[in-house]
Amino acid sequence: IQAYTHFQPAQLTTVGKRACLWAQDFALDLETIEQLVTRLPMRGVKGTTGTQASFVQLFSGLASADQVDDRIRELDRKVCEAMGFDRSIPVSGQTYTRKLDTWVVSALADVAGSAAKFATDLRLLAHEREIEEPFGAKQIGSSAMAYKRNPMRSERICALARFVHSLAGSPRETHGNQWLERTLDDSANRRLVITEAFLATDAILNLVVDISAGLVVNPAMLRRNMADELPFMATENVLMRAVEAGGDRQALHERIRVLSLEAAEALKAGRDNDLIERMRADPELGPHVQDQLDPGRYVGRAPAQVDDYLGELEALLARHAHRDGRFTARVRV
């Protein structure tokens, strides 16, 4: 299929390779979240300013200061274990450092970014009619233009992702503006930001699952768009073969340049790309054209890269196999 850089036709790729680019972003996010879950400590039992002074008083009847320390450490450990944490943060003020909140919301913003990249690509590909999000049998694309198939799910992902991204800076501001052991200007902000970041990311992933389950690939359009550009890609190989056969490189290059410009003008005028026919009519270029028209020559290692990456991805997904099937996307259109 046609690959694009700067949204201009570039070399070829495959549908699988493009899908792996999307999947890899989400996989990296999942690995980040895995690491975050293991890194996040609990505040534990630290008291009003983090010194555990009240617990020193609570256990003051013990025989020695060492016993008091041991008992407080044990209490801290048991409370953490009861809450599902394997450790507590070593030092804190009245609250755990709000830097931890920046980790959490940043991880959610990363997920939103991956989803926005996926959705933005689909919006572009839908314009080319190459790959589209699912479209319900009774779905209305436009209230005015009945024929339209607007990519509303992808657009909704982009809107929600932008919202999550806007939230990501707030925890950093909250962290930086905590005075000494604690001020209360974190509370109202955290209740909004953290909650809404999770809710919006959940809605984004709901849309991603729904789109992925019904993604539509249009092979005929992929072939048609590729056919418009493949002749231009073939020119380099045709030139090399013609030079190997004894042709003058500068003269051949100039002839290909002129023929390519003429074919490009024909395309802009709404006609088919006739560059292949133009090169076939050239006595030195013509014998080398047919062998260079196989699209497989221009995808490089894309198929092998897909196979290699899927092996890595399967290992990651296997760690989460117990969650498979527990989520069903529900989207109203």
pLDDT for res 123 = 95
168-187 confidence digits (pLDDT tens): 999 998 888 888 888 888 88
pLDDT digits over 101-116, tens only? 999 999 999 999 999 9
Highest mean pLDDT of the ranges 84-93, 154-163, 222-231 = 154-163
Quick: pLDDT tens for 238-253.
Answer: 999 999 999 999 999 9
Give the pLDDT confidence score for residue 137 in this predicted structure. Answer: 58
Mean pLDDT of the region 197-207: 96
Domains 20-40+96-134+146-217+304-323 and 221-298 share a fold: no
Please name every residue paired with 12 in a beta bridge, in sequence order, or none if there are none. Answer: 2
Nearest to 95 by CA among 195, 191, 192, 183: 183
Kindly report the backbone phi and psi dihedral angles of residue 115, in degrees, each rounded to the nearest multiple of 5, phi listed first: -65, -40
| CATH number at 221-298 | 1.10.40.30
In this structure, are residues 2 and 224 in contact, taking their beta carbons and an 8 Å threshold?
A: no
pTM of the model: 0.85
What is 111-154 written as a DSSP string? Answer: HHHHHHHHHHHHHHHHHTTSEE----TT--S-SS-TT----HHH
Closest of 17, 19, 13, 15 to residue 208, by C-alpha: 19
Cβ contact 122:132 at 8 Å: yes
Mean pLDDT of 314-332: 80
| Structure tokens that stand for 108 in this block | 């959610």
DSSP 8-state code for residue 2? E
Tens-place pLDDT, residues 12-23: 899 999 999 999
The domain spans of the chain are: 20-40+96-134+146-217+304-323, 42-95, 221-298
pLDDT band at 229 (very low <50, low <70, confident <90, very high): confident
Question: Looking at the annotation, which residues are catalytic?
Answer: 6, 142
In degrees and rounded to multiples of 5, residue 137 shows phi and psi of -60, -35
Q: Report yes or no: 1 and 56 within 8 Å, Cβ to Cβ.
A: no
DSSP code per residue over 269-318: TT----HHHHHHTSTTTGGGTGGG--GGGGSTTHHHHHHHHHHHHHHHHH
**pLDDT recorded at residue 148:** 62
Rounded Cα distance, 173 and 170, in Å: 5
Which residues lie closer than 8 Å to 283 by C-beta, 6 or more apart? none
pLDDT at residue number 290? 87
pLDDT given for residue 24 in this prediction: 97
If one compares 69 and 325, the residue with the highest pLDDT of the two is: 69
Cα 124 → chain centroid: 15
Per mean pLDDT, which range of 55-59, 103-107, 127-131, 132-136 is the poorest? 132-136
Fold type of domain 20-40+96-134+146-217+304-323: Fumarase C; Chain A, domain 2 (1.20.200)
Q: Is the pLDDT of residue 325 over 70?
A: no
